[in-house]
Chain A
Amino acid sequence: MGSLLRIVNGRVYDPANGIDGEVRDVCIRDGRIVADVPPEARRIDARGMVVMPGGIDIHCHIAGTKVNLARKVQPEDHRHDVHLRTRFTRSGTGGSVPSTFATGYRYAALGYTTAMEAAVTPLGARSTLEELNDTPVLDKGFFVLMGNNVLLFKLLQEGRMEEFRHVLAWWLSVTRAYAPKLVNPGGDEAWKGHRNANITELDARIEPFDLTPRQVIAAFIEAANALGLPHPVHIHCNNLGHSGNFETTLETMRIAEGRRAHITHIQFHSYGSVAGKSRDNPTSRARDIAEFVNTHPNISADVGAVMFGRSTSMTADAPLAYMLRRFGGHKWVNADTEMESGCGIVPFTYQDRIYTNALQWAIGLELFLRSEDPWRMVFSTDHPNGGTFMTYPALIRLLMDKEYRKEQMAHVNQDALDHSGLRECMDREYSLYEIAIITRAGPARLLGLANKGHLGVGADADVTVYEDAADKEAMFAAPRYLVKDGNLVIEDHEFRVDHVGRLLHVEPEFDSSIAQVIEPFFEDYYSIRFANYPVHERYLHQHELVPMARP
């Protein structure tokens, strides 16, 4: 697979191996990084350029039933941003929810080689896999929604923890998922069964179960650690977007008690509150959140930064989408999935003059700038919720260039800045080394992908070469070269070959007799047959089974 390549003269940023801008060769053979290649290997002269592992998006929404509904509902967002076919690449449409082909090519054109779809209903796993198979270049996987699963709730309220763990492992395996995802745990039952209510307290009862969000979160953290999953449970906390929610977030992190847990798009969960005209307005509590993460090495997070402009709010947190509908305008999609999840979609535009939007933007930056461990506070915009992945270069520039940051701050709602702590952390600028951590090495480590995010011998040959420039946005917007699995996919900024990446998935062990627990529930409450539920192997296409973190 792939050709023999030697990338020479480039400044290499490979934080996992402690390499910080050293000029050295990167050698590639059979899709892997190797120590050396024979002289006949093709040489790529990267003089004046920066060499990094391919980018890894730890949390984005790029495939599946919910994403496709968000695509379908926005023809107006596609027509102004078309993606032309070439002789060998497919056409598509862009906007905040691009078509699958455009998604793959555009991620690649930013230097990314891996992306994780962050919220998939188990029932929708097949369509996610088919869409991901039509998403070129990238390696990819998905997190499967488990935090409102009715069968798991039933086992949990009966204290059947052993079976809970086996059923969770079964679910991850048969849907071909990568990690369990919790979204607003406990909220769906209130939403679907109690006239669009929500659950707002970690200790509130999840009617009609004898169960609280706290118990649900604790059980998943426990089970995911016990199974030895490469990525721990991926948590979208309760009360997303609500003023004063930072306390819920802190309390959720405390539930982990030293065990691994990942808090996603933590920006949306870092709000204090101050009395406003009609109700409480949010303020920044990024300092409290960052301090907690800084001092708790068992916790990791991705930021979920907000960038101004067009986005789409799409989430399994249906009550949240319903709330946003009041601000978002004319379209709202709600989609309930039996026994498993809710879903809401609202097209949304973040505007720099609006208090809340500017505050969210500031909090995202603040979290990055207050983070003391870039390995555990990694890069994301929760694409397309906080902004699309096309805004990544601009966000990198905001982190690396304080003069540019100052200029941008001058354009936003100043009242919001007053209620953030952003002005307190203006000295910090991210280095290329730190950018390589938050966009590559960090996500790889948090995901437990041993062969990704670094350029050591044996790593996947996913390599990005950027032309160094003072304008970091321009630099990160268009890599000169992109190598995927040893193939030179982009050369001189242009696609040279098409490429299909792999599906990354896990198969934690479970006792096969657990089917006797699951099947009767299916017969009673699911609308599809138990035998037709597990996803057949042929949906995997090219795939890689990622081993457990420990046996």
Chain B
Amino acid sequence: MSDNIRTVPDATCTFCGCVCDDIVLTVDMDSHSITKSQNACVLGKAWFKEHGIEERPRALIGGREASTEEGVEEAAQILANARFPIIYGLSDTTCEAQRVAVAIADMIGGNVDTTTSVCHGPSGIAFQSAGESTASLGEIRNRADLVIFWGGNPAEAHPRLFTRYAVTPKGMYVPNGRKDRTIVLVDVRRTPSTPVADIFLQVKPGSDFEVLWALRALVKGRRIDASIEQRTGVSLAVLQDLVARMKSCRFGVLLFGMGLTMTRGRHFNSGALLALATDLNEFTHFVAAPVRGHGNVTGADNVMSWQTGFPFGVNLSRGYPRFNPGEFTTVDLLSRGEVDAALIIASDPASNFPKPAIEHLKRIPVISLDPKATITGALSRVAFTTATYGINVAGTAYRMDNVPLTLRPAFDSPYPSDEEVLTAIRSRVRELLGGNRLPVGPLPAGKAT
């Protein structure tokens, strides 16, 4: 360890959707590494520790080492010549980079989608159909006296959701912290989160919707048959007790994870939960919020929404944004073999997509941007090495509750940021196309602009 040590107070951790901004980083400026990350959880500590500077080529073109500029030229040629290019990823980069990525999609008439489509996409769809009563994490910390976690394991996935926002911290109207709150956990199995809860509801796998719907019925004073226990694994008495608690609390919150959104029922599950929270507002103040994974996936939803009107799965090939999950979501587009080029930003779909989608990625020219070597990078025609957001790159990230935060980078990277690479690609594509690509074919009915 050198003497060239810098301390970065109030740094922001972009590992998960909690985006904690109270991290005190100790940085060894000579070795380009973070030696200590005070206040970070175990996941955050690993994130900071493992993002030093690695010796990697700035770009690889077909496996050959190249400069960033050569990579930009190759990438721009691919995108300008593609007939159905897609842009995907975006949840682990800054909003500034996300804005450029959507701009490129608009210019080339491509498809743009984020990792939301494979995590809380169903919650986004449920939100569109039912709305949502929600709150910032600080509101939950200051007021919530009943906190229900559904389909998630924060102890292992979002540790500081417990300690900084929703379980133990003292708040304005919950001055004794944990003692002033009732904690409920709903899951299909016991996890390291279970001991935190006062009440644990173990539901049979695949029966979340039934449990939620029964709760809605009970909230509305309808009768539920005792056979609900055979169906869901939860007795009527337990459900009735929970309903009584939900109706009598001062400020209740339902925090839900992918155990709900990515199991049988998907957006019906999210929708039932959002509707339950809404119904409870007849009796008391009640909110719900999806617990988001990637550090800036919420930023991606927001940028997509303000630029196109839709949160993910957007196609711009007709000259205007169209939204259709299942049609314009990336897994589906790739699995159907429809696309002929892909720009992947800060994501590794080749490591976690279904096989037919990965097979198609192997057939088409792929451009990828990532600080690390990835499986997607290995199959890419052009693979850029970029700097890590929040560690080397400043910019904006949105916490899971839509609160935007400014990142405080710890040390410089020799590599360009995603935003810089994307901006260069955008400029070059614009030169090649002579401006935005205009759609061919008829305009939508009634529109002549």
Contacts and interface: CB of A to CB of B under 8 A. Distances in A.
A412 B106 CA distance: 42
Contacts of A536: 406
A192 B307 contact: no
B10 A73 contact: no
A93 B404 contact: no
A347 B434 CA distance: 40
B136 A68 contact: no
Contacts of B321: 78, 82, 91-93, 99
A192 B287 CA distance: 10
B57 interface: no
Contacts of A95: 309
Contact of A99 (B137, B301, B309): B309
Contact of A85 (B95, B320, B322): B320
B138 A127 contact: no
A72 B402 contact: no
Residue of A75, A90, A130, A196 with most chain B CB atoms under a 10 A cut-off: A75
A441 B167 CA distance: 54
Nearest to B311: A72
Interface string A45-82: 00000000000000000010100110111110011001
Contact of A527 (B95, B141, B435): B141
A404 interface: no
B265 interface: no
Contacts of B10: 529, 531-532
B74 interface: no
B449 interface: yes
A192 B136 CA distance: 12
Nearest to A322: B281
Given A126-B396, A338-B142, A527-B165, A78 B310 contact: yes
A331 B402 contact: no
Interface stretch (B122-130, B216-224, B227-235, B344-352): B122-130
Given A83-B320, A92-B307, A126-B396, A527 B131 contact: no
A532 B310 contact: no
B392 interface: no
A93 B403 contact: no
Interface in B340-362: none
Contacts of A91: 106, 308, 316, 319-321
Contacts of A83: 320, 449
Interface in A155-206: 191-193, 195-196
Contacts of B310: 72, 75, 78, 93
Contacts of A93: 308-310, 320-321
A532 B130 contact: no
A526 B139 CA distance: 8
A220 interface: no
B172 to A, nearest CB: 5
Residue of A72, A99, A335, A527 with most chain B CB atoms under a 10 A cut-off: A527
B403 to A, nearest CB: 6
B284 interface: yes
Contacts of B136: 123, 335-338, 527
Interface string A134-169: 100000000000000010000000000000000000
Contacts of B287: 334, 336
Nearest to B173: A193
Interface string B150-168: 0000000000000011000
Contacts of A337: 135-136, 139
Contacts of A78: 309-310, 321, 323
B134 interface: yes
A100 interface: yes
A279 interface: no
Contact of B131 (A85, A193, A332): A332
Contacts of A63: 306
Given A93-B320, A338-B138, A71 B103 contact: no
Contacts of A192: 139, 143, 251, 285
Residue of A63, A192, A334 with most chain B CB atoms under a 10 A cut-off: A334
A527 B164 CA distance: 8
Interface in A465-491: none
B128 A74 contact: yes
B21 to A, nearest CB: 5
A322 B103 CA distance: 36
Interface in B408-439: 408, 434-436, 438-439
A131 interface: yes
A90 B309 contact: no
Nearest to A90: B106
B441 interface: no
A68 B143 contact: no
Contacts of A336: 134-136, 139, 287
A75 B136 CA distance: 24
11 contacts: A75-B128, A78-B321, A85-B316, A87-B438, A91-B308, A99-B307, A126-B405, A127-B302, A150-B172, A529-B21, A531-B9
Interface of B: 9-10, 12, 21-22, 95, 99, 103, 106, 124, 127-139, 141-143, 164-165, 171-173, 250-251, 278, 281, 283-285, 287, 301-302, 305-311, 316, 319-323, 396, 398, 402-406, 408, 434-436, 438-439, 443-444, 447, 449
Please give me the 9 A-B residue pairs with the lowest Cβ-Cβ distance, nearest first: A338-B138, A527-B138, A93-B309, A87-B435, A82-B320, A336-B135, A334-B133, A331-B131, A78-B309
